[in-house]
Structure 1
Amino acid sequence: MMSLPIRSLLCSCLSVSILLSASVSADTNDLPDIGTVAGATLSIDQEEQYGDAYMRILRSRQPIINDPVLNEYINTLGHRLVSHANDVKTPFTFFLIRNREINAFAFFGGHVALHSGLFLHTRTESELASVMAHEIAHITQRHLARSMEAEAKRSPATIAALAGSLLLAIAAPEAGIAAITATTAGSVQSQINYTRANEKEADRFGIETLAKSGFDPYAMPRFFGKLSAEYQYSSHPPAMLLTHPLPDSRITDSRARAQHYKHANLPYAKDYQLARARVVVRYAGIDDKAALDWLQRQRKKNDPVIQAACDYGTALVYLDNKQYDKAAPILERLLKADPQNNFYLDAASDLYIGQGKAKQSIQLLAQALKQSPHNSVLTINDANALMADKQYQRAVQTLQRYTHNHPDDPNGWSILSQASNHVGNQQEEYAARAELFALKANWDQAIQYYTRASQLAKLGSLEQARYDARIDQLITQREQFLALQK
């Protein structure tokens, strides 16, 4: 069994969660001087290396939601916050994990993970943004590296050894825990105090970022308060509240801190409500009847934005059940009112494909792409429509551009593999499959598939040279990845 100090390190370093037991003072100048000495032992480049490695492991072990529409939404929202954050030193990537537990965590390289359950428990975009702003602060203030540095000072381990052990813990949990146990020692209390200091700082910067980005700064204490009230007497609270309790003092102090900023009385955010409806219908793990019941209860809020989101969610239920005759009039009405909305365009494209009208989908997306020629949601939908219309060569061309611009999106590589198969280009099919394996740190399989592609290519051709060069890159990446765990 993992000892308490080890569990504390894993919780604070791997999750860096929003719900740690911290007391936040209303005085924005009373924070302890933690310093930024982490830079002396772990550089930004090294953090990005570890972040990339963690992300590849997560893709192979967690149910990551590869939904283009939701990914566009959370990344647009996240980058709006990042643009107003302090001390941004890395690019940021936001992604969703399919899990009804309330959770969010941040790790090296600007990666912020949100559980889909957050959409079930937040009620406004400001509340969701408050969670994201807090996690952004953990990254900008380099809390993970600083936590590891504090642990390294109490033990013989170097910060690199701790980072490698945490990577190993994700890749092979039993070995990782053993590695951390062998290199970690120290006081439980000192670890808790350090965590509290990090949380105090993250709350302060998070609320500041929230306010500067135009969201309601009171959303953070409001969300904390709702969680506390909902689970105060629960015998089965979320796992996060078990490991990181939420005391009343934190709610009080975050409310006091929010009072330094103006209260923002914002209308319902349309894209947030649409995203919430999409999560409920497709990623909440409930049946169609329960989803429709939820949407019907939401309709009681007499607001046009809520009504549109409920209509959209209802259309998705019909669409997923191939009840196209019921989905069609709803989506037609929604698109007429908001013709450039990607939530609606995505659903309408799927509707036309389901109805056997792929050409109509292509025409719809062509008009939208004139307004947003490089939009990822529209492009991936266009590729799907071209596939449905058996225009495989055009699909290949579209997907080659898409995967070049979005190499970390499994959707592009997966569809490109299928399209290449349809045009009889087996070597490109293998290359696309190889990239899918590489995204999940399955380096051996990736190299194997690229080797097959090289063997099929014409001897001395540019294609063979490209495959061989990529094999060399993957071998180097594999060695670097394995070295990080040592």
Structure 2
Amino acid sequence: MSLIPSRFSIFIVTLHALFVASKTSHANDTIQLPTIGRENIANLKEEERIGAAWLKQTRRQPRTLSDPILTDYVEQLLNRLRIHSDVNHQSLSFVIVKNPTFNARAVLGGVISINTGLLNFATTEAQFASILAHELAHISQRHHTRIIEKQKNQQIINNALFASIVLASTREEDAGEALLSAADAYRIDQKLRFSRALEKEADRIGLGILAKAGFNPHAAVAMFEQMNNASRLSSKQPEFLRTHPLTDNRIADLIHFTRKYPEQTPVHNIDYQLVKARTLWLTITSPHEAIVRFKNELSGFSGSPEASRYGLALALISDQQFDEAKKHISALLKKYPNNVILKIAESDILSGKGDVNSAIEHILSLQQQHPDYYPLLHQLSRLYANQGNFSKAITVLVQLTELRQNDPLFWKELAEISGLDQQLSMLNKARAEYFILLALFHKAKHQLESLMKREPEGSKLHQYAEKRLSELKKLSKL
């Protein structure tokens, strides 16, 4: 008797393997919420390390967007949502990426990547918040970790299938191909099944986060329906739907989940509308193009009139049309007299017209009213630099780096202004910290070594450089 299995017997063995795997997978479809995302402290630390490394790598890219007003807005919104989630990471980080596609995604280790296109697409703050809440749900349930664990378990089944395929191919080529096709179909089916289960879970948990944070949960349904409609109108599927599979069943489930929440009148948040317009302005390279875009919106083609007016004012400031810009900002301030974002734009107009002293006084006055709003500090540093008062600009930037040690923007600007003021030791320190935040350790090492040569042994800066070099050796080994 031949020891080589018959084509039929191999097929039966493979079908049995697929059946057992399928039964296991179907059992996994029913997700038990109390056991999901069960944490292991060591694993969490490892995930955070991976997330931090990913964030540093991403920040090197020119497509990342660093704007204090935008960053502060998203940070405050995420914090508002986070306190109603089960996110237990010591640090929740995010990065904003210049990308016109509407998408956001959670990365292993408590990091969220947000495309500028998402802000442009979401009509209301609640819609934008619904996507962030969904990503927080992914993080709180450690979906990335569970996918990795699922893949490890799947590998055992894949090995058995591969062995069957190898045996079949030694007998008949078409049998091996048939089994390979069956195995591929199985893997695709299981991947989609698991992915849909996780998305459904994130939908349900995200709605709870959204509602507890005081947002209208029905905004999530509106957002997903907008995405679905956009995908039908376009030949190319939106990026969010490629990374977050959306089906009619999923939308139906979402509608079902929202039934327990009462309908709410949409809340108009002026800050969201201003940030939305600011994001668009930041991503348009030509002031002329931005002016045309926002004028068209104001003419009634699309967008929020208030947001469009603010965006137009920013574009006019960029184009040095300060008197025209002032008309739009003044009109907005009549309706929103205490809005700090609009008042910062007012200081840009004053500075642009040559009255930097008044612009500085304006910001200093605002600081008394909004002492915790760090974008005012950033604006103050810019105004001092425009005035040529580099020492004061450096003082403010040092304050910013102490408040926000992990923000590369302020270290970068501190290095630039220190260079202009010939404060070379501060230049070395700021560059070193900037490079560390981007995981450019060899460049950071060079700056720290230069600082040690520049500063006398025993001085504070020499001791700082010595200590940081020691820490850098550990960081570079990670």
Give the TM-score of the pair, scaled to structure 1.
0.80
What does residue 293 of structure 2 align with? 291
How far does residue 138 in structure 1 lie from its aligned partner after superposition? 0.6
Q: Can you list the C-alpha shifts for 1:2-44, whole angstroms capped at 9, x where unaligned?
A: xxxxxxxxxxxxxxxxxxxxxxxxxxx9744683476349522
Closer, same or farther in 2 for the Cα pair 1:312/1:110, shift >3 Å?
same
Query: Aligned-pair distance for 1:415?
Result: 1.9
Offset, 1:149: 1.9
Corresponding residue for 2:48?
Answer: 48
Give the match's secondary structure for 2:60: helix
Q: CA deviation at 1:125?
A: 1.0
Taking a change above 3 Å as real, the CA distance of residues 293 and 315 of structure 1, as seen in their structure-2 partners, is closer
Task: Indicate which of 461, 464, 474 corresponds to 1:463.
Answer: 461
Aligned-residue offset at 1:127: 0.7
SS of the counterpart of 2:473?
A: helix
Choose 321-330 or 378-387, whichever is displaced more. Answer: 321-330
Q: What's the counterpart of residue 352 of structure 1?
A: 350
Is the 2:230–2:238 Cα contact (8 Å) retained in structure 1?
Answer: no
Partner of 2:399: 401
- Paired amino acid for 1:345: K
Q: Would the alpha carbon gap of residues 396 and 247 (structure 1) be closer, same or farther in structure 2, given more than 3 Å must change?
A: same
Q: Which residue of 2 aligns with 1:64?
A: 64
- Alpha-carbon RMSD across the aligned residues, in angstroms, is 2.5
**CA 1:101–1:190: 2 relative to 1, 3 Å:** same
Code of the aligned partner of 2:476 = R
Residue number in structure 1 paired with 2:7:
none
> Which runs of structure 2 are paired with 1:65-80 in the superposition (5 Å)?
65-80=65-80
1:69–1:346 CA contact under 8 A, matched in 2:
no
CA contact (8 A) 2:101 2:117 kept: yes
The code of the aligned residue for 1:457 comes to E
Determine the C-alpha separation between the residues in 2 that align with 1:254 and 1:475. Answer: 49
TM-score by length of 2: 0.81
Aligned to 1:468, the other structure's residue is in SS state helix
Q: Distance in 2 between matches of 1:377 and 1:472?
A: 33
Confirm or deny that 1:264 pairs with 2:264: yes
Distance in 1 separating the partners of 2:326 and 2:37: 58
Instruction: Identify, as 1 or 2, the structure richer in helix.
Output: 2
Q: Which has the higher contact order (CA 8 A, sep 6+)?
A: 1
- Does residue 131 of structure 2 align to residue 122 of structure 1? no
Aligned counterparts of 2:93 and 2:218: Cα–Cα separation in 1: 25
Question: For the Cα contact (< 8 Å) 1:90–1:109, is it kept in 2?
Answer: no
Deviates more, 1:102-111 or 1:188-197: 188-197
1:271-350 alignment runs, 5 A limit: 271-283=271-283, 287-298=289-300, 306-335=304-333, 337-350=335-348
Q: Quote how far apart the aligned CAs of 1:128 are.
A: 0.6
Q: Distance in 1 between matches of 2:106 and 2:284?
A: 22
The structure that has the greater radius of gyration is: 2
Is 1:352–1:360's contact at 8 Å kept on the other side of the alignment?
A: yes
Corresponding residue number in structure 2 for 1:368: 366
How many Å separate the matches in 2 of 1:385 and 1:401?
15
1:90 is displaced (CA, Å) by: 3.5
SS in 1 for 2:263: coil
Amino acid at match of 1:261: Y
Q: Give, as a single letter, the amino acid of the residue that structure 2 aligns with 1:58.
A: T
Task: Kindly provide the CA deviation profile for residues 153-178 of structure 1, in whole angstroms up to 9, marking residues without a partner as x.
Answer: 3348xxxxxxxxxxxxxxxxxxxxxx
Correspondence for 1:418? 416
Unaligned residue ranges in structure 2 (runs of 5+):
1-28, 157-185
Unaligned segments of structure 1, at least 5 residues: 1-28, 157-185, 481-486
* CA deviations over 1:187-244 (Å, ceiling 9, x no partner): 3433333222211211111011111111111111111111112221532232443465
Deviations 1:244-272 (A, max 9, x none): 54221111111111111111212311111
Structural mapping, 1:86-485, within 5 Å: 86-155=86-155, 187-242=187-242, 244-283=244-283, 287-298=289-300, 306-335=304-333, 337-480=335-478
State how far apart, in whole Å, the 1-side matches of 2:302 and 2:249 are: 34
The answer to whether the 8 A contact 1:288-1:317 is kept is yes
Q: Aligned with 2:330: secondary structure?
A: helix
Alpha-carbon distance in structure 1 between the residues aligned to 2:302 and 2:201: 39
State the identity %. Answer: 27
Amino acid at match of 1:211: A
**Is the partner of 2:35 in helix, strand or coil?**
coil
Preserved CA contact (<8 Å) 1:315 1:326: yes
| TM-aligned CA deviation for residue 118 of structure 1 | 0.9
**Are the aligned partners of 1:81 and 1:210 in contact in 2 as well (CA < 8 Å)?**
yes
Cα distance, 1:293 vs structure 2: 4.0
Q: Could you tell me whether the CA contact under 8 Å between 2:415 and 2:430 is conserved in 1?
A: yes
